[in-house]
Structure 1
Amino acid sequence: MTLQSFVRKIYQGVADRQQMYRLFDRHGQRPNRWENDDSALFAGEWFEIARAEHDTMLDILPPLWMRGEMFALREFLTESVTSVFYTLHIDGRTRYFHAYCDLSQARSPVETRAAIVERESWPVKAMTHEERLEHIWSATHDEYRGYAGERFVPEHRGKRTLLVYGLGRTELKLLKDLTDDEIAAKLPVHLRHLPAKTAA
């Protein structure tokens, strides 16, 4: 399975409660779940939520800790990764975010906060190629996404896949191999024409 460990936005827009819970475990179908330390798979993923969802999560259990505009959940997703929720003031607006932070790295919550503020302060609304792929993966129903298995060459097994509909056929493709046209077809209409931005 391909693991990631960089800070990355995984959903464009404000996730509602149902979407928030789906995003909490968007890798739920991964092969060999729970057999390995999947910290790198989750650490660094973040998305925006509404205040109601933020406040609900604060009320569920006493937080592990609270520091200024952020708090961490007491229940860990993996050995060292847990949810951190942020209340951030960006461009004169108060906004709310969820991120998975690896608390074995002491600066992870602060560095994630800085990455969120930097990303959400772009002067022009845009999406990187990677954000387009992450949004598609996040928004696709479990029945239409999965992980490469025996049909794929060994070096691709465990990588993320999607069902793609073409002219009279359905094809299972690696997420990273989607063409620009396939990406556009899978994005919501309001996101299709956003300018592309190269990741820093």
Structure 2
Amino acid sequence: MNPTSPIRKIYQCIADRRQMFRLFDRHAQRPNRFEDDASALYRDEWFELARSGYDYMLEILPPLWMRADMFAMREFLTDSVTSVFFALTIDGRIRYFHCYCDLFDRGSPERMRDAIVERESWPVKAMTHVERLEHIWSATHDDYRGYAGERWLPEHRGKRTVLVYGRGRTELKLLDHLSDEEIAAKLPVHLRHLPLKTAA
């Protein structure tokens, strides 16, 4: 069930403290949570946060290590995956980001930093299809999202699901099976009409 995923942006807005903590463990409802290695599930996820969130996390515990534009949390999410926070200058202003890096993978924080700067330096504001789905998953309340269980076909079990409203009824659908219209309806208005960027 746990995919090996590339570096990916999981939330399109600047997360406030409440949303930041939700994003830290957005896979908390997954089946067999305490029986599997979730490193691949969390590794390389990132989002932007407010400076107040960055400062709060910097002050909560002494960092595991700190460099000019980043620091790592001392507490690990899994055996080798931990939170890394960045303060990056992009287009002349400092912005703040959180990601999960696998510290067994040498150079992971630097690759993440470079990927964030590249993504946030796109000349035209746009979103990829994957970013749209990840934002929907991140922004949906726990009561309205989950994982496919026993009533689903075996090949779909364990995949992410969301509730969809339409034509007078509510339907539970696989996140990856949402239509373009359903995706647009679930995105906030300011993201709904952004052009679709093809992933590189």
| Fold-level similarity (TM above 0.5) | yes
> Letter of the aligned partner of 2:181 in structure 1?
D
Tell me whether 163-172 or 36-45 shows the greater mean CA deviation.
163-172
Q: Within 2, Cα distance between the matches of 1:13 and 1:163? A: 22
Q: Within 2, Cα distance between the matches of 1:158 and 1:82? A: 24
> Letter of the aligned partner of 1:198 in structure 2?
T
**Contact 1:30–1:147 (CA under 8 A) maintained in structure 2:** yes
Matched residue, 1:163: 163
Please state whether the residue corresponding to 1:96 is helix, strand or coil: strand
Matched residue, 1:77: 77
Q: Within 1, Cα distance between the matches of 2:178 and 2:196? A: 16
Q: Within 2, Cα distance between the matches of 1:81 and 1:175? A: 25
**Contact 1:4–1:42 (CA under 8 A) maintained in structure 2:** no
Please state whether the residue corresponding to 1:54 is helix, strand or coil: helix
Matched residue, 1:110: 110
Kindly indicate whether residue 57 of structure 2 is the aligned counterpart of residue 34 of structure 1: no
TM-score, normalised relative to structure 1: 0.98
Output the aligned Cα RMSD. 0.7
Kindly indicate whether residue 10 of structure 2 is the aligned counterpart of residue 10 of structure 1: yes
Please state whether the residue corresponding to 1:15 is helix, strand or coil: coil
TM-score, normalised relative to structure 2: 0.98
Tell me whether 167-176 or 38-47 shows the greater mean CA deviation.
167-176
Alignment of 1:132-171 (within 5 A): 132-171=132-171
> Letter of the aligned partner of 2:172 in structure 1?
L
Q: Within 2, Cα distance between the matches of 1:2 and 1:178? A: 20
Task: Give the superposition deviation at 1:85.
Answer: 0.1
Task: Give the superposition deviation at 1:2.
Answer: 3.8
Which segments of structure 1 move beyond 4 Å, counting only runs of 4 or more? none
Matched residue, 1:64: 64
Aligned pair count reads 200
**Contact 1:144–1:162 (CA under 8 A) maintained in structure 2:** yes
> Letter of the aligned partner of 2:125 in structure 1?
K
**Contact 2:150–2:157 (CA under 8 A) maintained in structure 1:** yes
Matched residue, 1:185: 185
Which string of whole-angstrom CA distances, capped at 9 and with x for unpartnered residues, describes residues 10-47 of structure 1? 00020000000000000010000021110000000000
Identity of aligned residues (%): 75
Task: Give the superposition deviation at 1:82.
Answer: 0.3
Matched residue, 1:130: 130
Q: Within 1, Cα distance between the matches of 2:148 and 2:13? A: 28
Task: Give the superposition deviation at 1:4.
Answer: 3.3
Please state whether the residue corresponding to 2:12 is helix, strand or coil: strand
Q: Within 1, Cα distance between the matches of 2:5 and 2:132? A: 18
Matched residue, 1:172: 172
Q: Within 2, Cα distance between the matches of 1:91 and 1:150? A: 49
> Letter of the aligned partner of 1:102 in structure 2?
D
**Contact 2:50–2:96 (CA under 8 A) maintained in structure 1:** yes
Which string of whole-angstrom CA distances, capped at 9 and with x for unpartnered residues, describes residues 32-68 of structure 1? 0021110000000000011111011000000000122
Task: Give the superposition deviation at 1:6.
Answer: 1.1
Q: Within 2, Cα distance between the matches of 1:124 and 1:86? A: 23
> Letter of the aligned partner of 2:51 in structure 1?
R
Q: Within 1, Cα distance between the matches of 2:5 and 2:166? A: 33
Unaligned runs of 5+ in 2: none
Q: Within 1, Cα distance between the matches of 2:32 and 2:70? A: 32
Unaligned runs of 5+ in 1: none
Please state whether the residue corresponding to 2:101 is helix, strand or coil: strand
